[in-house]
Amino acid sequence: MSLVHPALLFMCLPIFLIVFAAAGRLWGSRGALTVLTAASLLFGATQGIAFLVVIVASALVNYALLMVIVRSDRPASVRLALYTGIAANIGLLALAKYSVWLGWIPVIGTASLSLAALIPTTLSFLTFQRSVALLDGFSARGAVATDLQKPRAGEALSPANPPLRFFAFASMFPNLLIGPIAYLVEVVPQFARSSFGRIRPIDLSIGLTLLAIGLVKKFYFADIIGRDWVDPVFADVAAHGATGGLRAIEAMVAYYVQLYFDFSGYSDMALGVARMMGITLPINFDSPSRATGIVDFYRRWHITLTRVIARFLFSPLSIAGTRYAARKRWRGARAQAVSLWLPLIVNFIVIGLWHGPRLTYVLFGTIHGLWYILETEVRGTKWWKKRRKTIAEPIRMLGGMALTIPLLILTFALFRSATLADFGHLLGSLGNPAQPGVDLPSTWKFAQLGLAYAIVMFGPNAYEMLGRYRPGIRSYINVSITPRLFAFRWRPTLFWGLLVCAAIAAVIGKMSAVTPFAYQVF
Amino acid sequence: MLPVLYGMALCALLMIVDPYDLRPWGLSPILVDAEYPPDKTVNLIRVVARQPHDLVMFGGSTTMPFTAPRLNAVFGSKSAVNLSYMAPMPTDTAPVLLRLVETPGLKRLIVAVDFSEMRRDGDTFYLGGSAVTSLRAHWYDMPDFTRPVARASLNRLWGRAFDIPGWRGEVTALVDAPSVTTHTDYMALLNDAVSHPDPAMDAQASAIACAAYPYLTQVLLPVGRAALQRGVHIDIVFPPIPFQTYYNWQKNHLEFSSWEKGAHHRQLVGFYGCIVKTIAAAHLANVTVHATDTDRRLTDLADYRDTVHLTKSATLTAMLQDIRDRTTVVTPESLDAFGRLIDEGIADVRTWRWSDRRSSPPR
């Protein structure tokens, strides 16, 4: 079950919200948290009993280790607990996800294959969220201990607070499967707010609006673009090693927006459902499709993964590299290589590998890493700094987009390809002649793809629209590049209410066939 | 909030009625002779497999026009049901038939096999995909979450059958539809294909080993054995096709199958031969193969609504009678004769021209 299942949206969610609010009113925040945790476990159970067992066991282990981290007075114990937790989490993820690469190892391979067969659902997001919680506990011990324990105004201190809050955070159903990956320090303090456990009309309005936006993105854009433009072409290439030239271009161009609509649609829905309970999650997408460079792109695309990897992998590596270079008294390119380039390459390869054990992901990460280094270096040159002042900002932005978007389209086609050979065949097909009647879909389909591009290029994203109501936690402050003409602002008015109603009504007709989200397999 | 309330009402209704039998609860579905559009049919397999039916028909679009009353009338069955949908392929046919074989009280299972079952890449047509999804659905999956299904479910809630006006029309429209001879576009296509045949029509087909067909190992053998255990007789039927159509297949792109180089009809006959030989080798005494495509009465173009689909009521009945009377049974011994009959039929229409037929009186 995922957030687009009618049974969840129209049956389980309303029932849950009623029980959640009732429990909040009767038993305060602990009542609401208990209901949230129970609902999340039921949601997890729909992914299979094995999945439920694993997420519960993992949560228990992580909670125990987090308590050691925040409560122990011995630094050695704290470090041991942290390393054990990270190793356990990454080990579990590796076993479940990388069986293709681990299969040859005698015992581990068998365990890995069994686990992968038992748990087809991704553990990537929840594993990262839990690992980051341990790191949060390590880097801000006092704050985390307080967040877990602090009673809500008017409530007494209770030993039940830390486990309840941690389990609610670690297994919260809106972002359990496909993120966004939230920090413990972002979410847990919200459980102690006086409004937690109450359903406020404004939260419901914002949540429903985000939900409607996500549903429209999924059913009206991602699914249709995938079905009409992308999937048949990639299947064709996989089966026959070639396709028509025009079809190949169309599929590459279409996939770029399909993936955005699919993944950002889920993120919008996750934020929306959480917001209905009064919980604000971090924003995951900020109009990435019109990024003006690769650096800008990663401040806008899958933000919660980027920031986790940047914080816990890139930064330590970069600091270590900088120290090493200083110790060796290296300067110039050598120092830059160990303090920036190498950490960046590792950072991006890990981002690529995080998606799964495929060489296409490794190459995708490597290309983006090299691109990131190149862009960073160019932006750091005196030449660029001087030129920058002489070029008007709109021209600079348009130029940046013109350079960035085609390269992103190309690398995302690599990301979509099952193998490097498939990607090679796709590129090889670009020169093939068009197949009449096959290569040119109907005008209506073209209009649909055109509309999708118009939305990602000119439309405001959900968080800009709802900006004044703080729909999500911002990790990076990005400049809005939405043309003023289209910078619509949502308000809790009748007009917007009717628009949201119309969107939900339109989507209802499409919900009988639920296609999995692209990121459900990562 | 109105759409949300509407969605909730829809959800509640479907959860109570459970028209596709996806949940442990729900009302026992009442079907109307299983005359449903194919997108509903694929979701009714679970329902049918839990209700008593003495005869079940399954196949592709060529067998979709056979209604339950027609099947009952010809075979003397009491509760026949036809669950054919467009382009079933081995990947979906296997779970569907394995489920249907378990139908309580089942005596006869008629399975039409055509070129879509030659598929070797594990793919499914979208309806087949829906059938598999439906068979594997959990209680919370809702392929029934549509307005027409909700309307039909409301009927069921009031004690009537799961049905709405229009559904049956989709099946009955397939019977006695205007002949293909009245469609100038189809006829021009066929005329061109026959008068200027693709050179590959006379070429030998690429040799494909029987083991390469997933239909044999994933469908025929497991289903045949399961049926044998349950005492169910299976009639495998090669549906009839006008001989002109083979020329069209060869000349114009034909989807849904896995074709190799060479004559398509020879590949099809080779595949059919594999079925016959596999049944004999596995000693499946409960399986009979009917090559209705060798009955010349069934291959007259005028009886078809397009280049593939039989539509004339009398001919539809004649095809069922062929199966009942075992007049077109093919065995390993008669395989060569079967191949020759197809070759002769194809050769016989080589001189056919549309202009010749236009002057003939309409049937």
Query: What is the CATH T-level fold of the domain B52-125+173-358, as seen in this structure?
Result: Rossmann fold (3.40.50)
Rounded distance between C-alpha atoms, residue B235 and residue A67, angstroms: 67
Tokens of A440: 């040119």
The whole-angstrom separation of Cα B240 and Cα A440 is 35
C-alpha distances out from residue B12 to A40, A115, B9, Å? 22, 36, 5
Q: Please spell the DSSP secondary structure of A94-111, one letter per residue.
A: HHHH-HHHHTTSHHHHHH
Whether A508 has its CB under 8 Å from any CB of chain B: the answer is: yes
8 Å CB contact of A5 and B144: no
Q: How confident is the model at residue A347 (pLDDT cuts 50, 70, 90)?
A: very high
Closest by alpha carbon to A307, among A347, A366, A363? A347
- Cα distance between residue B58 and residue B314, in whole Å: 20
**Whether pLDDT at A190 is above 50:** yes
With a cut of 70, list the residues of chain B below it in pLDDT: 34, 356-363
**A494 touching B, CB under 8 A?**
no
How far, in Å, CA of A180 to CA of A264, rounded?
A: 10
Length of chain B as a residue count: 363
Beta bridge mates, B254: none
- The reported pLDDT for the residue numbered A435 is 64
| Residue B220 and residue B276 in contact, taking contact as beta carbons nearer than 8 Å | no
Instruction: Give the torsion sign (CA, A302, A305, A307, A313).
Output: negative
Running DSSP on this structure, what letter comes out for residue A433?
Answer: P
Check residues A275 and A158 and name the one with the higher pLDDT.
A275
A14 touches chain B (CB under 8 A): yes
Query: In chain A, whose CA is at the least distance from the CA of B144?
Result: A512
Q: Which of B141, B256, B257 to mutate: most A Cβ within 10 Å?
A: B141
pLDDT at position A432:
83
Residue from the list B4, B138, B145 with its beta carbon closest to the beta carbon of A512: B145
In this structure, the dihedral spanned by the alpha carbons of residues A158, A161, A163 and A166, taken in order and rounded to 10 degrees, is -170
**Mean pLDDT over each residue of chain A, to the nearest integer:** 93
SS3 per-residue string spanning A205-252: HHHHHHHHHHHHHHHHHHHHHHHHHHHHHHHHHHHHCCCCHHHHHHHH
How many CB atoms sit inside 10 A of residue B4's CB? 20
The minimum CA-CA distance between B12 and chain A, rounded to whole Å, is: 7
Of the CA atoms within 13 Å of residue B6, those in its CB half-sphere come to 13
Closest CA of chain A from B267, distance in Å = 20
State the Cα–Cα distance between residues A167 and A368, nearest whole angstrom.
36
> Where along chain B do its domains lie?
52-125+173-358
Whether residue A103 contacts residue A112, with contact meaning beta carbons closer than 8 Å, is answered with: yes
Q: By CA distance, what is B10's nearest residue in A?
A: A10
- For residues B205 and B266, is the Cβ–Cβ distance under 8 A? yes
Entry pTM: 0.87
What is the per-residue pLDDT for B359? 42
Reference A325, options A315, A314, A339, A344; nearest CA is A339
Instruction: Report pLDDT for B360.
Output: 46
Report residue A421 as tokens: 């050979």
Mean pLDDT of A9-27: 95
Residues of A in contact with B22 (CB under 8 A): none
Interatomic CA distance for residues A256 and A226, integer angstroms? 10
Within 13 Å, how many C-alpha atoms sit on residue A78's CB side?
Answer: 14
Using DSSP, how many helices (H) and how many strands (E) does chain A show? 26, 0
| Over residues A155-163, mean pLDDT | 88
pLDDT at A521 over 90: no
pLDDT digits (tens, 9 = 90+) for A252-308: 999 999 999 999 999 999 999 999 999 999 999 999 999 999 999 999 999 999 999
Percentage of chain A beyond pLDDT 70 is: 98
Of A130-144, A309-323, A447-461, B244-258, which range is least confident?
B244-258
**Three-class SS string for B246-286?**
HHHHHHCCCCCCCCCCCCHHHHHHHHHHHHHHHHHHCCCCC
Give the closest residue to A287 by CA, choosing from A467, A471, A469, A456: A456
Beta bridge partners of B238: B291
User: Do residues B227 and B287 touch, judged by C-beta distance below 8 A?
Assistant: yes
Tens of pLDDT along A66-102? 999 999 999 999 999 999 999 999 999 999 999 888 8
Question: Cβ contacts (< 8 Å) between A514 and chain B: which residues?
Answer: 141-142
- B138 contacts A504? CB cut-off 8 A: no
Return the residue in A10, A16, A510 with the most chain B beta carbons within 10 A, the one to mutate for interface testing. A10
* Tokens read off for A93: 């993820």
Determine, for residues B141 and A10 on separate chains, whether the beta-carbon distance falls below 8 Å: no
Which of A508, A510, A514, A515 to mutate against chain B (most B CBs within 10 Å)?
A508
Question: Residue A460, preceding bond cis, omega within 30 degrees?
Answer: no
Q: Please give the pLDDT value at position A436.
A: 55
pLDDT of residue A438: 59
What the block records as the tokens of A169 is 């955070």
Higher pLDDT, A317 or B27: A317
The mean pLDDT value for A343-366 works out to 95
Query: First and final CA of chain B: distance in angstroms?
Result: 58
Q: B2 vs chain A: nearest CA distance in angstroms?
A: 7
Choose among A11, A208, A235: nearest Cβ to B11.
A11
Strand partners, B110: B57, B235
CA distances for A315 relative to A185, A311, A321, A346, A349, angstroms: 19, 5, 10, 11, 15
Backbone angles phi, psi at B108, to 5 degrees: -135, 130
* ipTM of this complex: 0.81
Tell me how close the Cα of B253 comes to any Cα of chain A, in angstroms: 11
pLDDT at A479 (0 to 100): 87
Question: Using an 8 Å Cβ cutoff, are A292 and A408 in contact?
Answer: no
